[in-house]
Amino acid sequence: MACHFDEYDKRDFALAQARELGLASRSCAAVGDSRSDLPLFASVGLSVAFNASARAREEATVTVDDDDLRGVLPVLSRLVTATR
């Protein structure tokens, strides 16, 4: 493990990356599955609970249950369409 990220480090890292790219946080999406994703979910425009815990499902914009992570792609395309 290169470094340990807690739930706030995840959020802070993602938001810093967005700033570097000149993106508003509302134009970003996050995909996660547990409690440690909740601060990030609250900070982005679209949050996807993927095969997630009950709490993550409650906090996410949308929930996806699938055997393949590519199952989130149709949901993520909504964000791309909304920001055009």
The gap from C-alpha 7 to its chain's centroid, in whole angstroms, comes to 12
- pLDDT at 56 > cutoff 90: yes
- Whether the pTM exceeds 0.85: the reply is yes
Instruction: Say which residue, 36 or 5, is predicted with more confidence.
Output: 36
Question: What's the rounded Cα separation, in Å, for the pair 84 and 9?
Answer: 29
Q: Which two tokens stand for residue 11?
A: 């959020």
What dihedral do alpha carbons 59, 16, 74, 66 form, nearest 10°? -60
Nearest one of 34, 32, 33, 18 to 83, comparing CA atoms: 18
Average pLDDT rounded to a whole number, residues 61-84: 88
**pLDDT in the model for residue 83:** 58
* C-alpha span between 41 and 56 (Å, rounded): 9
In which band, very low, low, confident or very high, does the pLDDT at 3 lie, cut at 50, 70 and 90?
A: confident
